[in-house]
Amino acid sequence: MMKTKFNVVSALEDYKRRDEERREFITNKGYAAMEEIIKEVNQRGSLNEADIYYGTPKPQLSFSDVELGYMLTSMMEYATNHVGNPVDEECEFENKLAYFEYKGEIIQILEVYGQGTDSWFSKTSDDTINQLNNTAYGVYLIQFDDFINYTKNKDNESNKLSSSSTISNDITGGYTVERGSK
């Protein structure tokens, strides 16, 4: 039987590195990326990571599929944690929606669960825009600026925590996170 070793410290370092890359992309290039996303969605109707590889015509983006994934995932997490998510009743799969407004444009994210999870940006219907602007449904509409500011604030909190935190192996063999000065 083959034994596999799992390096907890390496896995935590990889997670931290990917999280830093995600936050750095969003805080430094998020506004420009959102403008490009809105432009592509208005032309195509929707946009996800697969469109970068297989889309016809190919989307004209200055960032990668991974960075588009950062935007999709982070924006959906923000919506879920801050306003909740309505669902698309007409979709046959379990799903959730998020709506973001930037420079007067409203864009939606649809996340669908089936044999896996897929998510994409899409154009918001005129009826939905009317509901978001004129009814209690508007509670689901998020200002993109709020998302960027939240990400910047989380980045600042993370820097404070990481400079004074250590991960150590305790006597029982488990890992603990400790705060203190270096």
Q: For residue 178, what pLDDT is reported? A: 47
Q: Model confidence at 76, in pLDDT bands (50, 70, 90)?
A: very high
Asked whether the CA dihedral 27, 32, 33, 39 is positive or negative, the reply is positive
Q: Is residue 54 part of a domain?
A: yes
DSSP codes, 86-105: ---TT-SSEEEEEEEEETTE
pLDDT at position 180 over 50: no
Which DSSP state fits 113? Answer: E
Range of the domain at 64: 15-154
Q: Is residue 74 part of a domain?
A: yes
| Longest pairwise C-alpha distance within the chain | 63
Residues found in the chain: 182
Q: Is residue 45 part of a domain?
A: yes
How do residues 115-144 score in pLDDT, each as one tens digit?
A: 888 999 999 999 999 999 999 999 999 999
**Domain total for the chain?**
1
Q: Is residue 165 part of a domain?
A: no
Average pLDDT (49-73) is: 91
- Distances in Å between the alpha carbon of 148 and those of 5, 66, 71, 78? 38, 18, 11, 10
Q: Model confidence at 155, in pLDDT bands (50, 70, 90)?
A: low
For the chain, the average pLDDT equals 85
Q: Is residue 10 part of a domain?
A: no
* Alpha-carbon span 45 to 166, nearest angstrom: 46
* Alpha-carbon span 182 to 180, nearest angstrom: 7
Q: Is residue 122 part of a domain?
A: yes
Q: Is residue 169 part of a domain?
A: no
* Alpha-carbon span 123 to 47, nearest angstrom: 9
Q: Is residue 141 part of a domain?
A: yes
Take residue 122 and report the two structure tokens written for it. Answer: 């899409």
